[in-house]
């Protein structure tokens, strides 16, 4: 089977390509990048006026399965992924039960194979049931397919437990990923603490709740020499801490979401939970600091924190409504809207090259011989209509907005799984997970 992605602007920072090229795929692998490919007998993907990049990897999504299939399943999440231009996602372990045993991880891998869309990489729990006390079996989780470890929104509160976990798991491939929020400082907050919360009479969580855990975890990373990744950084000071840790030689990476880059906390004037997320949307100073962090290279990765919930759940009053919202199908547009003039090579590095390197997974490059995971996108303004999402989560603060960029086609392992607005599962049933 031969596929030619024709006439696109190929951008691959690892190969140093940033030019109009044809991309040739044979039997699921990249076979060549040429100025004019022979299209005889090939399936042609028209990439005129579009950008062709190594497949985008969203290293922070919540697929809700097992446990909450009304919010999302592996299949619906994988469909949302390819529709949003992602060839792979890494799913957080806050399922029910948590991804803390090889059996459950194997089931996630199996469901992803059945869906036959995006590659799905499970992230294992750091502690059993994400309860913060007993260590999860890292080696066996790794054997089952876990590419990183995190207790996700349940920040490991006990520094001794986290330190021991990091020491024990130091030689297990994949970083520890920290969702940094101090539960005591956060309290019952529904939004960021600041001028907006003061005006609106809502309980706010200070940026300090994040920064204090970022500082602790960076020190534990230095102490244990475990690879570390800070999830969804939301404050300027947390970025300063990352810079400081790197200056001391600590191997730390970090990610930022489209919503933290684009929105500040003024949206809460609506008193609607569409804006409720952890960590909370911060004020405009922090938002601007995140944009600077993307430009200056402090931030390694764009990640969505795709967190689908039922619309009825998000329609509840602020304190009862769940945190988070769907992200996969608006992400490309959200990033471009928030950081409009970011060079394409940097954009591709943040969406593909860097997450592939950090997770140690295939992809991140269009080098000949690598698996043919390809994202084709264009600068084409479109209006977000969340009702049309493939995800079961129909809530996003981007709903109704015009975004400047979107995915046109997605190729996973040489199979065109998304094109012309349609999601098409692979027919060859080659397992798409590793």
Partner 1 sequence: MNPRHLLDVDDVSRDEIRYLLDRAEAFKGAEPARDLLAGVAVLNLFFEASTRTATSFTLAEQRVGADVISFAPGASSLGKGETIEDTAITLRAIGVRAIVVRHPQAGFAKRLSETFDGHVINAGDGAHAHPTQALLDLMTLRSEFGRFAGLKVAIVGDILHSRVARSNIVGMAMLGIDVTLVGPPTLLPDAFAVGGVRIERDFDAVLGGVDAVMMLRIQRERIAGSLLPALDDYTRNYQLNRHRLRALRSDAVILHPGPYNRGVELTDEVLADGRSRYVAQVGNGVFVRMAVLDFLVNGAKVVA
Give the active site residues.
305
193 binds partner 1 (CB under 8 A): yes
DSSP state string for 118-144: SEEEEEE-SBGGG-SSSB--HHHHHHH
Helices then strands, each counted (H, E), the chain: 14, 21
Over its C-alpha atoms, the chain yields an Rg (Å, rounded) of 20
| Count of chain residues binding partner 1 (CB under 8 A) | 18
| Nearer CB in complex with partner 1: 19/269 | 269
| Nearer CB in complex with partner 1: 318/345 | 318
Binding segment (CB under 8 A) for partner 1, from list 52-60, 93-101, 193-201, 252-260: 193-201
DSSP state string for 294-343: HHTT---EE---B----HHHHTS-TTTSPS----TTTHHHHHHHHSTT--
Binding segment (CB under 8 A) for partner 1, from list 35-43, 73-81, 241-249, 308-316: 308-316
Contact 431, 111 (CB under 8 A): no
245 binds partner 1 (CB under 8 A): no
| Nearer CB in complex with partner 1: 200/339 | 200
Contacts with 378 (C-beta within 8 Å, 6 or more apart), sequence order: 49, 50, 51, 405, 406, 408
For residues 56 and 88, give the distance between their C-alpha atoms in angstroms, rounded to a whole number.
7
For residues 111 and 117, give the distance between their C-alpha atoms in angstroms, rounded to a whole number.
11
Binding segment (CB under 8 A) for partner 1, from list 52-60, 126-134, 188-196, 343-351: 188-196
| Nearer CB in complex with partner 1: 244/271 | 271
19 binds partner 1 (CB under 8 A): no
Beta carbon of residue 77, minimum distance to partner 1 (angstroms, whole number): 26
Beta carbon of residue 200, minimum distance to partner 1 (angstroms, whole number): 6
The interface with partner 1 within residues 314-373 (CB under 8 A) comprises 315-319
**Tokens for 77?**
């999440």
For residues 130 and 163, give the distance between their C-alpha atoms in angstroms, rounded to a whole number.
15
Among positions 102, 194, 324, 355, the unique one binding partner 1 when judged by CB under 8 A: 194
Question: What are residue 26's DSSP bridge partners?
Answer: 2, 29
Beta carbon of residue 192, minimum distance to partner 1 (angstroms, whole number): 11
Beta carbon of residue 236, minimum distance to partner 1 (angstroms, whole number): 17
197 binds partner 1 (CB under 8 A): yes
201 binds partner 1 (CB under 8 A): yes
Beta carbon of residue 420, minimum distance to partner 1 (angstroms, whole number): 36
The residues binding partner 1 (CB under 8 A) are: 193-195, 197-202, 270-272, 312, 315-319
């Amino acid at each position: 089977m031969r596929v030619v992605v024709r006439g696109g602007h190929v951008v691959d920072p690892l190969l140093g390509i940033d030019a109009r090229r044809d991309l040739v795929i044979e039997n699921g692998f990249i076979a060549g990048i040429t100025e004019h490919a022979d299209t005889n007998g090939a399936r042609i993907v028209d990439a005129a006026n579009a950008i062709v990049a190594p497949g985008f990897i969203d290293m922070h999504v919540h697929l809700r399965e097992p446990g909450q299939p009304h919010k999302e399943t592996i299949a619906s999440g994988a469909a949302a992924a390819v529709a949003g231009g992602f060839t792979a996602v890494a799913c957080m372990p806050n399922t029910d039960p948590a991804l803390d045993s090889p059996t459950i991880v194997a089931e996630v891998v199996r469901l992803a194979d059945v869906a036959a869309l995006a590659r799905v990489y499970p992230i294992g729990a750091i502690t059993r049931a994400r309860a913060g006390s007993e260590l999860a079996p890292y080696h066996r989780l790794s054997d089952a397919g876990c590419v990183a470890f995190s207790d996700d929104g349940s920040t490991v509160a006990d520094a001794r437990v986290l330190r021991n976990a990091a020491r024990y798991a130091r030689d297990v491939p994949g970083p520890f990923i920290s969702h940094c929020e101090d539960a005591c400082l956060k309290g019952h907050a529904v939004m960021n603490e600041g001028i907006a919360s003061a005006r609106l009479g809502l309980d706010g969580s200070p940026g300090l709740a994040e920064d204090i855990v970022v500082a602790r975890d960076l020190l534990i990373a230095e102490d244990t020499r475990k690879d570390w990744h800070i999830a969804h950084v939301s404050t300027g000071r947390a970025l300063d801490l990352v810079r400081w840790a790197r200056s001391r030689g600590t191997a730390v990476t970090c990610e930022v979401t489209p919503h933290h880059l684009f929105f500040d906390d003024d949206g809460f004037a609506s008193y609607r939970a569409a804006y409720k997320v952890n960590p909370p949307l911060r004020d405009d100073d922090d938002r601007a600091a995140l944009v600077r962090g993307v430009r200056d290279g402090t931030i390694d990765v764009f990640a969505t924190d795709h967190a689908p919930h039922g619309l009825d759940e998000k329609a509840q009053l602020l304190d009862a409504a769940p945190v988070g919202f769907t992200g996969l199908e608006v992400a490309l547009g959200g990033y471009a809207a928030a950081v409009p003039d970011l060079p394409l090579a940097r954009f591709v590095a943040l969406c593909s090259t860097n997450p592939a390197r950090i997770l140690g997974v295939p992809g991140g490059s269009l080098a000949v011989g690598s698996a043919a995971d390809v994202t084709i996108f264009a600068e084409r303004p479109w209006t977000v209509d969340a009702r049309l999402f493939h995800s079961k989560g129909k809530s996003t603060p981007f709903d109704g907005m015009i975004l400047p960029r979107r995915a046109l086609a997605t190729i996973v392992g040489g199979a065109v799984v998304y094109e012309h607005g349609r999601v098409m599962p692979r027919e060859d049933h080659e397992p798409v997970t590793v």
